[in-house]
Amino acid sequence: MSRLEQIAPKDWDPRLKSAIKPENLTDLEQGLTRFFAHCPDQALGMMSFAGALKVNRTLPERLVELVRLRVAFFNQCRSCMAIRYTDAVEDGVTEGLVCSLEKPQEADDLTPAEKAAIRYGELMATDHLAIDDNMYEELRKHFNESQIVELGMTVAFFVGFGRLAATYHMVEELPESFKTEPGTISPWGNEAIQVR
């Protein structure tokens, strides 16, 4: 059960309704907006930033999804771990590939660029001050400066809002394994939900 009151779309500020058209989305796809509707001006600003990250993305959807799921594991955000975005699935994210995230640096089916991005995401989520010159040099082997900045902003979004979502504990629409399992869970080896 969520720890904060969710606001039903019928009670959202009209600007939020216009921005995401909740009638076309499942409850899970409405996600954090059900909480953020308490603060519509801030929600609209966050949505603008999130939209800019998505619409102007130059990084592959597959890479971003893999990083997102690895960060979600460290955040222990159950809804983040349960979701698979359709565009990432269409770009090659399979449940077998998600299972590689258990030990990504040992995985044969991840590219060197994916491993570097995942490592960067791990460090941002667990020990950001360990990101040093060597980490940036590794990233430069695979990404240009703009892509590194994009990756950083994307990961910062995942870390911050994933941690916030984890504290809200919105699990109502998730498969049972994400609702009831005590302790640390993972995005690999559990039933996932594909969303737009």
Q: Mean pLDDT across the stretch 124-153?
A: 98
Quick: pLDDT tens for 47-106: 999 999 999 999 999 999 999 999 999 999 999 999 999 999 999 999 999 999 999 999
Say whether pLDDT at 189 is over 90: no
Q: Which pLDDT band holds residue 179 (cuts at 50, 70, 90)?
A: confident
Is residue 38 domain-shared with residue 91, that is, in the same domain?
no
Is residue 90 domain-shared with residue 30, that is, in the same domain?
no
**Tokens found for residue 171:** 């699990």
**pTM of the model as a whole:** 0.95
Q: Which pLDDT band holds residue 1 (cuts at 50, 70, 90)?
A: confident
Say whether pLDDT at 11 is over 70: yes
The CATH number of the domain where 69 resides is what?
1.20.1290.10
Is residue 84 domain-shared with residue 160, that is, in the same domain?
yes
Is residue 126 domain-shared with residue 161, that is, in the same domain?
yes
Instruction: Give the span between the Cα atoms of 125 and 162, in whole angstroms.
Output: 10
List C-alpha distances in Å: 115 to 31, 120, 141, 190.
29, 9, 12, 22
List C-alpha distances in Å: 71 to 1, 61, 65, 102, 121.
23, 15, 10, 12, 6
- pLDDT above 70: percentage of residues in the chain: 99
- Report pLDDT for 16: 96
- Report pLDDT for 196: 80
Instruction: Give the span between the Cα atoms of 73 and 41, in whole angstroms.
Output: 30
Over the chain, what is the mean pLDDT?
Answer: 95
Please tell me the total count of domains within the chain: 2
List C-alpha distances in Å: 158 to 1, 33, 149.
22, 15, 14
Range of the domain at 24: 9-55
Q: What is the longest distance spanned by two Cα atoms in the chain?
A: 50
- Report pLDDT for 181: 66
- Of 98, 104, 86, 109, give the one whose Cα is nearest residue 186: 98
Is residue 46 domain-shared with residue 72, that is, in the same domain?
no
Q: Mean pLDDT across the stretch 154-173?
A: 95
- Report pLDDT for 119: 98
Say whether pLDDT at 149 is over 80: yes
Is residue 43 domain-shared with residue 120, that is, in the same domain?
no
Is residue 33 domain-shared with residue 19, that is, in the same domain?
yes
Say whether pLDDT at 162 is over 70: yes
- Report pLDDT for 177: 86
Say whether pLDDT at 18 is over 70: yes
